[in-house]
Structure 1
């Protein structure tokens, strides 16, 4: 029998009050085939009948064992530790009750681990937005191709994948190093667990196959920890987990990984929460700003190199330089992906580019030599209704002379359906390449039209604007556009469609300030919009 078919894997499934989904999770683990020796389902003292449901499943499946905790832990770490202590198989994986393992996940990871003699094998996780079905790869760059990494320090980017669920671990390795999750009501336990794994210096095997489907239910009554970011306690927990990860890696002598973990915090966590800061009230903003400044004060000089104008580092330097929240709209755009640095572009008395006149200590001088493809330049986008269609006006801003130096010639316009959900119609071409025209104010403009009826022909959904700016040297860069509001902007509008009779289109700015369109075609789409508006009025 091939080694990948031997019963060597334990899958630890944890759940709390998730009777609606836990069956699918357990069955997805059992369906992996004979390589799965046991599925250990840990019920964290549920009160919704989950334990009874699992007990019935176990009665018909000898590979399933159910462990019920007597007291709810309040987190995910303790039940995972409970399951880990109960497994007998040589390898172990983790699965949350509201997610699933795709077919072939176990075989792909086990084959890699055994053939490469690796203590840890990791594969691609996809975030599946529900109910749309849109899938977004998690850390796809890391899993683009097969790789074997003798020591984590040789691939510092490993610190960016803090998930524990898309990996297979040699049980003896975890036990020998005493690697466990934080106990109790500890949020972001994955971050600390992953740091402990990396600190132990395991041999890693990476595979490009999909091995985990992470279900994202933003409309759920009880949001997951990663989605429930409205309270300041969530941010404090995030920074504490990041601090612990840094200290674990540094304490193990993994200085390069510790430095990478700090850089990852600036590029990922800080940018993510900064994009949402404008949505919070003043009290939250002040608390966030004060806590963030205190945390960033722990960074040393080496943490700001080699590029102090990289978006996350620049954002952090602005926070450190000001005692009060400021420039939130501008910071939101800087935190976008890709980053956009909105005007005004200020210079100090000696001509050095700076963040603003009252924050001259935040220098932007590295922007003068940074490659054009990495510059946080800004393209404004404004929709204007016209009798013969809808005009999309694009305006590219100068950035300390770098745009003039690169000589922007044209821009390619494309609308992409965000929630395609496998319907096939996920893109709508714009007018192809549209030439830029230099303006007297030092900007470049380009006008094209938007066929709103064509977007509606693909059904209800959200469309994101993507631009590909082309320069004179034949290089280019894909960017999103800053949504311009004000006089003349297009509000919700009804558009005549040969297929649907009428299409409702609503432009809006995303959390990061980019232009997007919500489209609702036909009588059913119109009715759904009216129903949602009435419900908001009633609520």
Structure 2
């Protein structure tokens, strides 16, 4: 009986030595186990030792490999199609012969697909030997998404786990006749037809390698012609399957920002003027039919400028732009930002060049200003929220007047309150590698202090979940930054709950970080973080020297509370109560000695107690203590007792006077019975 493999790993190989050995080893050593895999390899007419290495592995692992040899096809499509024709697995994974897998890659991706019933799984990619890797889609795990609600479409390579049923249902194969970008047509259709896409971002699944010999086919293939042909096909694909609107614009943004950019790079290097002009006119015709105003507003400024130059037929300016952009990329220095009134412009070539006449709106980056920020410290002390950090707009010169506000915005009501900050000098900011150290931000630091008891019109900040923002203003341009997810390592990441004194009343405030984005939020009024949950009883016992004295030990996990507020409380019948302050024995531990002398007869419940206004506060019942027995003592010549009542969730003491006559008779009876 033949068992269906879970995954068919398909590897097309052309002159892949010595990289191939590590590639194959990474597959056979997968944690998922070889019994759940089949490995299909295709030697595409190699002239080095690739074919022999494939046969060696097949011999070493009998039954695991299928090895096919064929004449060179000129690209990766034919080997991949051959692998698909022979695949039996429920899923397939395409692996290039110079890349390799993380040990748990296939196991994690398969688990993600099966748990979420998705058709395609992207595993986090990591570049090796200086090769760049897609990153924007791997910020966090995504159990189930699609091309319109994530960044997955920006990774159009086929190096993914794919349900084979989806491939065969739509009779998909890689197109022939292309040396590069051919995978976009295959992967793009998969994305659009998939019933759910997953992303594994918390594990390095695939290591993509830059070959020392420059043999990566994408980087070694020259010329704009084939790239433009694929770009035209992808535009047609998107327009056929996605109606006009924001979804289509989102996918088209990817093709103009990446694929047209790469085409223009190769076009600028073209030595044949006739072919260069022909390719340029192809791009112009493409934009004339497929570049609506809604898409123009969505792409970034340099893509918008590229499109503007192409539409105007300004070939030499396009070539000059790519030279400038190449210098920027190699140096790490990006163009500066000009702020005028309520608009910001990037200083790319031909800005306000009277001869070229490119409108300012092409350079407008007001809505896309990049920021940098960091939380350095945060806490609440004596009711005052104190915070330090920095925030600035990248590449905006610091001689322009700048100010920073701290903004608290309530999540449900959207009510907001803004607070000024004071400037903290940051002479080191901008001295690093980013932008080659060209821009400095010596006044970007800030310190904020907000008295939570007087934050709103002299009164307390209302109950709610208050998300924290920083608003950076440059002239009339304001950029709001959701704050806290970038912070110094010493900033505590666990929730910090405080009890704040407000006159006679105490209230709760907690600082915590949201999931999954890890942004800072202030919880006022125990919406998510309960004070009582931070109080803990370690144990109770009777004093060894004073029988009427109950000793309670415990701890608290509060980040702060009013001094002397915490106590042990005994609550009796009729609303009677007695509270004894605790004695700290460490940073967060305490003991309390509670005397039962003078307590009225009746039942008394024991709890930890933090008071508030008009008798309201936080109570943490002391649980039943199996080791605690009854006790007796003499008070003013009268014998008294405390009996431990059997209650499920709390400690209750029944206090009363010992009935002497009854006790004596009971004792005599016991003695008499003993003599008999």
Pick the TM interval, shorter chain: 0.5 to 0.7
State the partner residue of 2:627. none
User: Which secondary structure state, in structure 2, belongs to the residue aligned with residue 223 of structure 1?
Assistant: coil
Change beyond 3 A, Cα 1:312–1:403 = farther
State the partner residue of 1:251. 240
Change beyond 3 A, Cα 1:70–1:125 = same
- How far 1:303 sits from its partner (Å)? 5.5
Contact preservation (8 Å) 2:37, 2:64: no
Contact preservation (8 Å) 1:113, 1:119: yes
How many angstroms apart in 2 are the aligned matches of 1:175 and 1:434?
A: 59
Higher relative contact order (CA 8 A, sep 6+): 1
How many angstroms apart in 2 are the aligned matches of 1:314 and 1:272?
A: 15
Matched, 1:145 2:135: no
Contact preservation (8 Å) 1:413, 1:430: yes
Larger gyration radius, structure 1 or structure 2: 2
In structure 1, which of residues 269, 272, 275 is the aligned counterpart of residue 259 of structure 2? 269
How many angstroms apart in 2 are the aligned matches of 1:201 and 1:38?
A: 23
State the partner residue of 1:172. 165
In structure 1, which of residues 311, 315, 323 is the aligned counterpart of residue 302 of structure 2? 311
Change beyond 3 A, Cα 1:192–1:216 = same
User: Which secondary structure state, in structure 1, belongs to the residue aligned with residue 65 of structure 2?
Assistant: strand
Contact preservation (8 Å) 1:102, 1:212: yes
Contact preservation (8 Å) 2:174, 2:183: yes
How many angstroms apart in 1 are the aligned matches of 2:178 and 2:438?
A: 49
State the partner residue of 1:51. 51
How many angstroms apart in 2 are the aligned matches of 1:368 and 1:164?
A: 33
Pairwise CA RMSD? 4.3
In structure 2, which of residues 222, 226, 236 is the aligned counterpart of residue 237 of structure 1? 226
Change beyond 3 A, Cα 1:257–1:22 = farther
How many angstroms apart in 1 are the aligned matches of 2:302 and 2:313?
A: 17
Change beyond 3 A, Cα 1:308–1:102 = closer
Change beyond 3 A, Cα 1:135–1:245 = closer
Change beyond 3 A, Cα 1:244–1:59 = same
How do 1:18-417 and structure 2 match up within 5 A?
Answer: 18-32=16-30, 33-34=33-34, 36-129=36-129, 134=130, 136=132, 138-149=133-144, 152-155=146-149, 157-165=151-159, 167-208=160-201, 209-217=203-211, 219-220=212-213, 223-228=215-220, 231-232=222-223, 235-253=224-242, 255=244, 257-272=247-262, 283=273, 286=277, 289-302=280-293, 304-307=295-298, 310-326=301-317, 328-333=319-324, 340-341=334-335, 355-360=352-357, 362-364=359-361, 367=364, 369-370=366-367, 372-373=369-370, 404=400, 406=402, 412-416=429-433
User: Which secondary structure state, in structure 2, belongs to the residue aligned with residue 172 of structure 1?
Assistant: helix
Change beyond 3 A, Cα 1:36–1:242 = farther
How many angstroms apart in 1 are the aligned matches of 2:322 and 2:44?
A: 40
Contact preservation (8 Å) 2:131, 2:208: no
User: Which secondary structure state, in structure 2, belongs to the residue aligned with residue 43 of structure 1?
Assistant: strand
How many angstroms apart in 2 are the aligned matches of 1:374 and 1:431?
A: 13
- How far 1:252 sits from its partner (Å)? 2.7
Contact preservation (8 Å) 2:333, 2:434: no
State the partner residue of 1:453. none
How many angstroms apart in 1 are the aligned matches of 2:172 and 2:25?
A: 27
Q: When the two structures are superposed, what TM-score results if normalisation uses the length of structure 1?
A: 0.62
Contact preservation (8 Å) 2:351, 2:363: no
How many angstroms apart in 1 are the aligned matches of 2:434 and 2:439?
A: 17
Q: When the two structures are superposed, what TM-score results if normalisation uses the length of structure 2?
A: 0.50
- CA deviation vs aligned residue, 1:80-137 (integer Å, no higher than 9, x gap): 01101111111110111111112111111011011111111111111212xxxx575x
- How far 1:282 sits from its partner (Å)? 7.8
Q: Where is the strand percentage greater, Structure 1 or Structure 2?
A: 2
